[in-house]
């Protein structure tokens, strides 16, 4: 007969719901990848790099990423004012965790697409 697992041997899956709220959004991880590559980007720069995203989904995704602490929105004191988005420390940590997942997928037949938005070298 086996003993029940010790308290330290159990893993609570409740945080999975919070993770899915972040990573299951269509554009969220791509935005994290681009900001991780480039350091910071303006709204129109992100829109151009993402290609098929409309302004409303981009705005909503950026607001959500900012609300949960992964993206920082900075208003530059220019005329007219410009806004730049960058990753917070938590956003950079999340991006760092994406790279092993992408490696895992690519080792199992996932193909790199032209213009792949995440780079591991030089970042």
- How many domains does the chain divide into? 1
**Residue 37: per-residue pLDDT:** 85
In-domain check, residue 31: yes
Q: Distance of CA 29 to CAs 34, 78, 117, Å?
A: 9, 29, 10
The residues with which 5 forms a beta bridge, in sequence order, are none
In-domain check, residue 9: no
The range of the structural domain enclosing residue 49 comes to 14-99
Query: Is the pLDDT reported for residue 12 higher than 60?
Result: yes
95: Cβ–Cβ under 8 A, 6 or more apart, which residues?
Answer: 32, 33, 36, 87, 118
Residue 25: give its domain's CATH number. Answer: 1.10.10.10
**Residue 72: per-residue pLDDT:** 97
What is the per-residue pLDDT across 31-69, written as a single tens digit (0 to 9) for each?
Answer: 998 898 878 999 999 999 888 899 999 999 999 999 989
Q: Which of 2-6, 39-43, 64-68, 111-115 comes out lowest in average pLDDT?
A: 2-6
In-domain check, residue 4: no
């Amino acid at each position: 007969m086996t003993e029940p697992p010790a308290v330290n041997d159990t893993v609570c899956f409740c945080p999975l719901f919070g993770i899915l709220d972040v990573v299951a959004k269509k554009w969220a991880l791509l935005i994290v990848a681009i900001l991780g590559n480039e350091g910071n980007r303006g709204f129109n720069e992100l829109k151009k790099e993402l290609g098929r995203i409309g302004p409303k989904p981009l705005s909503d995704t950026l607001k959500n990423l900012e609300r949960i602490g992964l993206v920082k929105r900075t208003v530059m004191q220019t005329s007219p004012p410009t806004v730049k988005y960058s990753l917070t420390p938590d956003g950079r940590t999340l991006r760092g965790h994406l790279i092993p997942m992408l490696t895992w997928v690519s080792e199992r037949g996932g193909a790199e697409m032209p213009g792949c938005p995440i780079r591991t070298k030089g970042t």
